[in-house]
Amino acid sequence: MFFLFGLTTREHLQFTRSATCRYCGRHAPQQVVQRRTKLSVFFIPLITLKKTRVQICTNCGGTSRLSGSGERALAH
Ligand SMILES: [Zn+2]
């Protein structure tokens, strides 16, 4: 008997906001994306192992991970 395990990462665009990019320094739309890494068995995602939010600059593509304080700053 064998099991087929794997990890799948899905991205969900949560919202886009206008902010100054820390990489290119331009005021450009920044996409806030949630990434979820799930453990899958026979290609069926079962358990969420990791959940992170990243901010992606639409101008240069620079990606930065949002920490807990970064997420709170977005709420204002
Ligand atoms: Zn940028």
Interval 14-68: pLDDT, tens: 999 999 999 999 999 999 999 999 999 998 999 999 999 999 999 999 999 987 6
Distance of CA 29 to the CA centre of its chain: 16
Around ion ligand 1, residues with a beta carbon closer than 5 Å are 21, 23-24, 57, 59-60, 62
Measured in angstroms, how far is the CA atom of residue 43 from the centroid of ligand 1? 35
Measured in angstroms, how far is the CA atom of residue 29 from the centroid of ligand 1? 9
Number of folded domains that form the chain = 1
Domain range for residue 67? 5-74
Would the pLDDT of 76 be above 60?
Answer: no
Q: How high is the pLDDT of residue 67?
A: 78
Cα–Cα distance list, 43 to 28, 40, 49, 50, 57 (Å) = 37, 5, 15, 17, 31
